[in-house]
Amino acid sequence: MRAGRAFEAATLAACRLKDQFEYKTYSAAVAEVKANQPWNPSEPSVRWASDLHARTAMALGLEDWSGLRFYTAIGTALDRFHGVDGFFEFCGVRVTLDVTLNAAKFGGYKADFIVGPTSLTMASAGRELALRIAAELLKRQEAFAKQRPPHRAVLARIGPRD
């Protein structure tokens, strides 16, 4: 257990609000993590997190990396109760990570993406995260395109287009 915590701390660093033992809902835990970051989420200050952020931004082909945000949740209710050590957000899409030494989690666990000490190179991890973000963005775009067009009465209330 201590080796796993040390691995998490070395890769992500603890959130400013840590050692949370009281259960919080997923959304409340996410909001708490966002409000207590030890760094600017667009520029993580821990080397490993910064490298992963950079590799993911490059794999997404971003020129401006400020829209890609990375949050650490180490030691928070999100970590303890929901199995999420950190997460990326981009254009409303969230991809969660679990940084672990526990080989049993590699077959799938609570987080979207499991990271171990030798599981992936930084470049391949960035590509995999970018693919997950892009796939979710594509799903949302397709769902939006399938929505019915507004009814004529709604368009009449809006008025003519310029």
Give per-residue pLDDT as tens, 106-142. 555 688 888 776 655 667 888 888 999 998 888 887 7
Q: Kindly indicate the confidence band of residue 17, based on its pLDDT and cuts at 50, 70 and 90.
A: confident
List the domain boundaries for the chain. 2-158
Residues pairing with 99 in the sheet: 115
Question: Which residues are within 8 A (CB) of 91 and not within 5 positions of it... i.e. 6 or more apart?
Answer: 67, 137
DSSP state of 101: S
Q: CA angle, corner 131, sides to 65 and 14, nearest 5?
A: 60
Q: Record the pTM.
A: 0.77
Give per-residue pLDDT as tens, 64-114. 999 999 999 988 999 989 989 999 999 999 999 988 765 555 555 688 888
String of b and e for 70-105 (b: at least 16 CB within 10 Å)?
bbbbbbbbbbbbbbbbbbbbbeeeebbbbbbeeeeb
Question: Which residues are within 8 A (CB) of 137 and not within 5 positions of it... i.e. 6 or more apart?
Answer: 90, 91, 93
Q: What is the dihedral of CA 145, 148, 151, 154, to 10 degrees?
A: -50
Residue 45 Cα to chain centre, angstroms: 16
What proportion of the chain, given as a percentage, has pLDDT over 70? Answer: 72
